[in-house]
A and B are shown apart, each in its own frame.
Chain A
Amino acid sequence: MTTANTYTGTYELEFERPLLQLERQIAELESHSRDSEVDITADVRKLKQSHTAMLKKIYAKLGAWNTVKVARHPGRPQAIDHIRVMAKDFCELHGDRHYGDDPAMITGFARVGSHKCLIVAHNKGKDTRERIACHFGCAHPEGYRKALQKMKLAEKYGLPVVTLIDTPGAYPGIGAEERGQAQAIAANMFEMSRLRVPIVSVVIGEGGSGGALGIAVADRVAMMQYAWYSVISPEGCAAILWKTGEAAEKAAEALKLTAADNMKLSTVDEAIPEPLGGAHRDPDAAIANVEKWISQSLRELKRFKVDNLVNKRFERFRRIGSYEEK
């Protein structure tokens, strides 16, 4: 059984600070017990119980901005971890057949549960070198075109498509513009809306704007419990509407970007639960939940006749919007 690498870094979530003292006490007691005869099991158990209780309390009312921070936690399982754990025999496919191979977008055949499928996923990179190569998960037009070219391949062979979304947004650069970032994203939505195989999408971390939606026009769209999905990043929104990036917290709240909020807006269909304290605390358990949802959804979607499936997908997006009419 492959497992996701457990995060061993020192990244600290500010709102988790009250937990640190307890964690330190537990560690101290445990190391002390190794050198002494005194039985401290009961004390450790007690401390661990209050740790769990506090964790529960903190995550029960996390707030939008802290959710964004959890979604960006470096220990949070990335698409590559999901693929490693849930996909058997992943066969990566490279290149967009136009310009290049964008490492910020991973595509390939895989088996998830009993389903042969195509996986399309944003890639953020694990270490500094990878992160820079992937532009921190911001794909270029060649990434979106690679995704489309592989999705057409999946359509040809009747394979369902699974997309994993984790991007702050599509890359805003000179080359990206000159190679048609806007056109690439638009073309993906256009073609995905009529792709004749089931498509399921999961926002596993960040769902930043058109860069996210460019691979998220699906029959079913889910968000992990502490992922975010919005028209713009909180920092970008703050810079524009509040004229300072420091208002990001306010912007995050206003944008209604959490899984629960998006469920209310009917922009996503389901929230996939994460282990207590976020996916970074137990990546394998988090990925197992995602896998379960994907398998279940694909099983259900495969029952539909293709025309029916495509019509329902269209209707899913057609009805989104809020307005009044006199």
Chain B
Amino acid sequence: MTQTPGRSWQDITDAGKRGDVPEGLWMRCPRCEAMVYRKNVEQNLHVCPECDHHYRIGADVRARQLCDPESFEPQWSGMAPVDALGFVDAKPYKQRLVEEREKCGQPDAVVCGKGFIKGRGVVLACMDPQFMMGSMGSVVGEKVTRSIELAMDTDRPLVVVSCSGGARMQESTLSLMQMAKTAATLAKLDQVGGLFISVLSDPTTGGVSASFAMLGDVILAEPKALIGFAGPRVIANTVRQELPDGFQRSEHLLEKGFIDRVVHRRDLRSEISRIIDYAGK
């Protein structure tokens, strides 16, 4: 048995090269290849002004974009990952954690807190693709779980912006169990009539899509985001055929009935507010 379900890291990192905003004053959009002025892209919420390509953004930028100015208060910022397994691949997990932290200035791949979106109080969790491709280990699982609990305690709607390659291999079954932990806590939120708006961004795959990301009361997705259980390369290797056009992209999932709306980044704030109002939260 040589089959290896799960996403391919290569898929994700390749997509990462296409998705991140490159360095420099001017940059070439990886999708439409137009030369665009970097500041314009940033002012445009990191969306290409020419072709609407949605770049991947860090958790801080995301929280700032979604919340009313100065309203986001981060929580549990002191929580940091540990190497419970003594995991060593090309380099030790311990070392990887230090390097990733230096690279993106965060101790792990999620930023959570309280904030306001168009005046509506929310609990917000944003995943950060810059930290080990947004992978979910104990810290991500615990912080998302606490966010759900905070939403219950404060009776605020919960908004989680997912951006992740899936569960983090370096914490093995501890990572895996975070799927059950977050799903079980969401069941509690559901029981008390809470509102969970799940926002999927590029990419949302593996153990994150197969747990809290797909459990939203309402699920929104940014345009053309890669969303799925297994990575496209793993699927192509398994079925040995070419994958259909647009396969596993937001629009495809919309067509298949797995998400509620595809929403442009500039409309996220108003769309989230609207749903909060309809739910009476």
Contacts and interface: CB of A to CB of B under 8 A. Distances in A.
Interface of A: 72, 136, 138, 168-174, 176-183, 185-187, 189-191, 193-194, 208-211, 213-214, 216-217, 229-233, 235-237, 239-242, 245, 250-251, 254-257, 262, 265, 267, 313-314, 317-318, 320-326
Contact of A189 (B5, B211, B247): B211
Given A210-B176, A254-B85, A317-B177, A194 B191 contact: yes
A72 B89 contact: no
Given A177-B248, A231-B172, A209 B207 contact: yes
B47 interface: no
Contact of A321 (B177, B183, B248): B177
B138 A322 contact: yes
Given A170-B229, A321-B142, A185 B210 contact: yes
Given A181-B228, A321-B174, 7 more contacts: A182-B205, A183-B210, A210-B167, A240-B10, A241-B169, A314-B184, A323-B138
Given A174-B239, A233-B5, A254-B87, A318 B171 contact: no
B99 to A, nearest CB: 15
B209 A182 contact: yes
Contacts of B85: 254-256, 265
B169 A325 contact: no
Contact of A265 (B173, B209, B214): B173
Contacts of B2: 235, 245
Contacts of A232: 4, 6, 167, 169
Contacts of B167: 209-210, 231-232
Interface stretch (B73-81, B122-130, B265-273): B73-81
B185 interface: yes
A303 B175 CA distance: 31
Interface residues of B, number: 76
Interface of B: 1-6, 8-10, 76, 78-82, 84-85, 87-90, 138-139, 141-142, 145, 167-169, 171-181, 183-188, 190-191, 205-207, 209-215, 227-231, 234-235, 238-239, 241, 243-244, 247-248, 252, 256-258
B279 to A, nearest CB: 19
Nearest to A255: B172
Contacts of A179: 256
B11 to A, nearest CB: 10
Given A185-B210, A317-B181, A321-B178, A235 B173 contact: no
A11 to B, nearest CB: 12
Contacts of A251: 89
B8 A240 contact: yes
A104 to B, nearest CB: 12
A171 B9 CA distance: 18
A257 B85 CA distance: 10
Contact of B78 (A178, A194, A326): A326
Contacts of B228: 177, 181-182
Contacts of A185: 179, 210-211, 229
Nearest to B165: A240
A265 B181 contact: no
Contacts of B206: 210
A320 B177 contact: yes
Contact of A180 (B171, B183, B258): B258
14 contacts: A138-B5, A168-B3, A169-B4, A172-B6, A183-B258, A194-B191, A208-B5, A239-B9, A255-B85, A262-B173, A314-B185, A318-B181, A323-B138, A323-B139
Contacts of A233: 3-6
Residue from A230, A239, A267, A320 having most chain B Cβ neighbours under 10 A:
A320
A153 B180 CA distance: 22
Contacts of A136: 1, 3
Nearest to B215: A186
